[in-house]
Amino acid sequence: MLIKQLSLPKSTVTTISEVATLQEAITLLEETGYRCVPVLDKSGKIFRGNIYKMHIYRHKAGGGDMDLPVTHLLKNATKYVHITSSFFKIFFMIKDLPYITVLDENNNFYGILTHSSLIDLLQQSWSIDQGSYVLTIASPGQKGDLANISRGINRYCSIMSCITLDIQRENNVRRTIMTLEPGVSAKTVDEISKYLDRRGFKVVQVEDLQNG
């Protein structure tokens, strides 16, 4: 369960009860520095939504009653994933949120998955800390391109990771980002570039991970 492994469990997450007032919520948010926190029901198990500092400030500035319960300004009540959800679902759910709420198998609040956790995962998937060079390769978007690029690079070295971008572009140009194994020299990268160029692929960017 990748989502479970990446999530911050409930015991480490600052939450607030649905019976708390807006004044209590803004006090908590100001003390912790968070822009929002999860709101749980009285049992502390069921996720009700998020309460945002910004919305409380607006409410207060407009002369709103600060003794109202936090449920008065509840947001994101349906924005959550389960620990068994597909990892790709997160990218659609977390897009406009500081974190995504994670529920367990019983639909109880398990914890949260933050943007920083996703960034860390992407950094690991790109092998930034272990690789030698990252190549951004443009291809015409034809069937077999990825296999041909991979086969060509493997003539010279191993590939540690691969991500393909621009799949929605109208001109069908694809950009494939590949991280090469440690120990690859600049000369080898140049040979790879020339080899791919002869076969209709263009290395549009080379990033040297060894020298920052």
pTM over 0.75: no
- pLDDT of 2-15, one tens digit each? 788 889 999 999 99
Question: Which run of H or E residues covers position 99?
Answer: strand 99-103
Rg of the chain over Cα atoms, rounded to whole angstroms, equals: 23
Q: Where are the alpha helices (DSSP H) in 38-173?
A: 53-61, 87-93, 115-125, 145-153
The yes-or-no verdict on residue 212 having pLDDT over 70 is: no
Q: Could you give the 3-state DSSP secondary structure of residue 187? A: helix
The two tokens of residue 18 are 């649905």
- pLDDT of 105-142, one tens digit each? 999 999 999 988 887 777 676 666 678 999 999 998 88
Question: Which run of H or E residues covers position 114?
Answer: strand 109-114
Domains of the chain from N-terminus onward: 2-120 (3.10.580.10), 127-208 (3.30.70.260)
Question: Which run of H or E residues covers position 159?
Answer: strand 159-165
